[in-house]
Structure 1
Amino acid sequence: MMKLMFASDIHGSLPATERVLERFARSDARWLIVLGDVLNHGPRNALPDGYAPAEVAERLNEIAGRIIAVRGNCDSEVDQMLLKFPITAPWQQVLLPERRLFLTHGHLFGADAVPPLAAGDVLAYGHTHIPVAEKRGDIFHFNPGSVSIPKGGYAASYGMLEENILRVIALNDQRIIAQVAINP
Structure 2
Amino acid sequence: MKLFIASDLHGSLSATQAMLTRFEQSGASYLILLGDLLNHGPRNAIPEGYAPAALADTLNTYADKIIAVRGNCDSEVDQMLLQFPITETCAQVLMPQMRLFLTHGHVYGPDKRPPLQAGDALLYGHTHIAVAEYRDDILLFNPGSTTIPRNDGRASYGLITPTECQVRAIDNDELLLSCPIHHRL
Same fold (TM over 0.5): yes
Distance apart, 1:183 and its partner CA: 3.0
Distance apart, 1:153 and its partner CA: 2.3
Per the alignment, in what secondary structure is the counterpart of residue 93 of structure 1? strand
Paired residues for 1:1-184 under 5 Å: 2-184=1-183
Runs of 5+ in structure 2 lacking a partner? Answer: none
Per the alignment, in what secondary structure is the counterpart of residue 176 of structure 2? strand
Deviations 1:12-49 (A, max 9, x none): 00111101111111111000000000000000111111
Runs of 5+ in structure 1 lacking a partner? Answer: none
The residue type paired with residue 128 of structure 1 is: T
What TM-score does the superposition give when structure 2 sets the normalisation length?
Answer: 0.97
Distance apart, 1:179 and its partner CA: 1.0
Preserved contact between residue 125 and residue 142 of structure 2 (Cα < 8 Å): yes
Per the alignment, in what secondary structure is the counterpart of residue 114 of structure 2? coil
Preserved contact between residue 132 and residue 142 of structure 1 (Cα < 8 Å): yes
The residue type paired with residue 48 of structure 1 is: P
Per the alignment, in what secondary structure is the counterpart of residue 119 of structure 2? coil
Distance apart, 1:163 and its partner CA: 3.5
The residue type paired with residue 131 of structure 2 is: V
Distance apart, 1:177 and its partner CA: 1.2
What TM-score does the superposition give when structure 1 sets the normalisation length?
Answer: 0.98
Per the alignment, in what secondary structure is the counterpart of residue 123 of structure 1? strand
The residue type paired with residue 170 of structure 2 is: L
Preserved contact between residue 130 and residue 154 of structure 1 (Cα < 8 Å): no
More deviation, 17-26/32-41: 17-26
Distance in 2 between residues matched to 1:149 and 1:13, nearest whole Å: 9
The residue type paired with residue 158 of structure 1 is: Y
Deviations 1:133-176 (A, max 9, x none): 00011101000000000011230000001242110100101111
Deviations 1:61-80 (A, max 9, x none): 00101000000000000000
Question: In the comparison of the two structures, how many residue pairs are matched?
Answer: 183
Per the alignment, in what secondary structure is the counterpart of residue 102 of structure 1? strand
More deviation, 161-170/100-109: 161-170
The residue type paired with residue 171 of structure 1 is: I
Distance in 2 between residues matched to 1:5 and 1:43, nearest whole Å: 28
The residue type paired with residue 140 of structure 1 is: L
Superposed CA RMSD in Å reads 0.8
Preserved contact between residue 9 and residue 126 of structure 1 (Cα < 8 Å): yes
